[in-house]
């Protein structure tokens, strides 16, 4: 078949024009039918059956399987089957038909994602129930160690999460390859109702930590999800002063992400020491904010009582960290606030760490008089 004809067939399939598609294929005779059965298109390697399933055109899916004779288990370059496509786009009728025609319910695409995992990226309980009814295993894990429950907790649909807990009671007892639990996932994405369900129905230990030492409370607060953070404090006895593998506490982590409301919450509401040093390099929240270039966060920290002149384990001030990060605006503000350039423990000044032209100019031009 000519290339233009093949492109037209893809277009007709995507648009759901069954009669025109059937007419074009029939006019090419048995040779055209044979070509369509095995033809993969583009860089993705999709077949017409993939296109039809993705768009939810059940009549075309039926035609391609019954009349053209396409294999229900045909796969593209990512090993995605038509069932993956239909499940990922919440096309219930196509999912049901493909399963009826013998599609393997737990087939794996690239990275070991099953159709149920794909379905859990959407908030369509009916599709998920259909896959489960045909034997889909919610406990199967992909290459990162996530199962369908992890994915559902990330998406945040309470009905889906509750149903998965109903059909597989222990599905919550899972960790990714980096030891992250579904509670971490829900907290990180600010899914408050899911966090509430997990705390009520599952047996997670307070401050359960992943392989980096990060707790669900840390995930919530450093991403600015304060309602979730409060819930973890009230219902799960989370610690606002737990430390990760690098010795950083939530106060340091929110300085890194620039979450200023979270800083107020930690320091003013929970009485966390704004000058608390991370146990690894003795960095404070001010050091972290300066290194990341968060000028507004630095002002907030100082308002909360941060020590402008504090030094880390290597004798570096926040000005050194600003220069390490090559943040001219931060260096300018710190100098304006009265922080003088000085040597660290190795005899290196902040100015010597400045490499980019704009931050070099900060030191060359001097500090403007703001009095």
Q: What is the mean pLDDT of residues 135-145?
A: 96
Residue 280: what pLDDT?
Answer: 84
Residue 248: what pLDDT?
Answer: 97
The candidate with the shortest Cα–Cα distance to 114, out of 161, 90, 79, 89, is 79
Task: Report pLDDT digits (tens) over 259-310.
Answer: 999 999 999 999 999 999 998 899 999 999 999 999 999 999 999 999 999 9
Give the count of beta carbons closer than 10 Å to the beta carbon of residue 286: 27
Q: How would residue 370 be classed by pLDDT, with cut points 50, 70 and 90?
A: very low
Task: Report pLDDT digits (tens) over 163-214.
Answer: 999 999 999 999 999 999 999 999 999 999 999 999 999 999 999 999 999 9
The pTM is what?
0.92
Q: How would residue 81 be classed by pLDDT, with cut points 50, 70 and 90?
A: very high
Residue 366: what pLDDT?
Answer: 66
Q: Contacts by 225-229 with C-beta closer than 8 Å and gap 24+?
A: 225/187, 225/188, 225/189, 225/190, 225/192, 226/261, 226/262, 226/265, 227/190, 227/192, 228/186, 228/187, 228/190, 228/191, 228/192, 228/195, 229/262, 229/265
Please, what's the largest Cα pairwise distance for the chain? 88
* Domains of the chain and any CATH numbers: 244-371 (1.25.40.20)
Which segments within the chain are labelled E, that is strand?
none
Residue 369: what pLDDT?
Answer: 43
Q: What is the mean pLDDT of residues 99-111?
A: 95
Q: Give the percent of the chain with pLDDT over 70.
A: 98
CB 175 within 8 A of CB 183: no
Q: Is the pLDDT of residue 368 over 80?
A: no
């Amino acid at each position: 078949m000519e290339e233009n004809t093949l492109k037209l067939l893809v277009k007709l399939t995507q648009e759901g024009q069954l009669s025109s598609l059937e007419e074009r294929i029939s006019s090419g005779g048995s040779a055209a039918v044979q070509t369509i059965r095995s033809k993969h298109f583009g860089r993705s390697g999709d077949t017409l059956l993939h296109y039809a399933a993705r768009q939810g055109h059940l009549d075309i899916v039926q035609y391609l399987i019954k009349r053209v004779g396409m294999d229900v288990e045909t796969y593209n370059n990512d090993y995605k089957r038509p069932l993956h496509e239909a499940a990922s786009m919440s096309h219930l009728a196509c999912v049901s038909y493909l399963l009826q025609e013998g599609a393997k319910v737990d087939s794996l695409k690239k990275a070991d994602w099953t159709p149920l995992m794909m379905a859990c990226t959407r908030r369509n309980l009916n599709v998920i129930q259909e896959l489960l009814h045909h034997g889909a295993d919610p406990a199967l894990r992909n290459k990162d160690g996530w199962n369908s429950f992890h994915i559902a907790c990330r998406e945040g649909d309470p009905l889906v999460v509750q149903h998965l807990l109903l059909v597989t009671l222990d599905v919550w007892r899972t960790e990714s390859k980096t030891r992250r639990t579904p509670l971490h996932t829900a907290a990180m994405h600010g899914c408050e109702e899911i966090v509430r369900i997990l705390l009520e129905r599952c047996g997670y230990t307070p401050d359960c930590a992943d392989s980096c030492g990060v707790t669900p409370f840390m995930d919530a607060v450093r991403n600015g999800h304060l309602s979730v953070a409060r819930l973890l404090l009230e219902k799960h006895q989370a610690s606002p002063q737990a430390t990760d593998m690098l010795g950083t506490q939530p106060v340091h982590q929110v300085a890194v992400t620039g979450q200023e409301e979270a800083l107020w919450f930690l320091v003013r509401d929970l009485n966390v020491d704004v000058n608390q040093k991370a146990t690894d390099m003795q960095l404070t929240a001010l050091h972290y904010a300066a290194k990341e270039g968060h000028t507004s966060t630095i002002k907030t920290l100082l308002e909360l009582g941060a020590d402008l002149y504090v030094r880390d384990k290597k004798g570096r001030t926040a000005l050194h960290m600003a220069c390490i990060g090559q943040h001219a605006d931060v260096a300018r503000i710190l100098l304006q606030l009265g922080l003088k350039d000085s040597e660290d423990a190795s005899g290196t000044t902040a100015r010597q760490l400045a490499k980019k032209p704009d931050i070099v100019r900060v030191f060359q031009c001097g500090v403007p008089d703001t009095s």
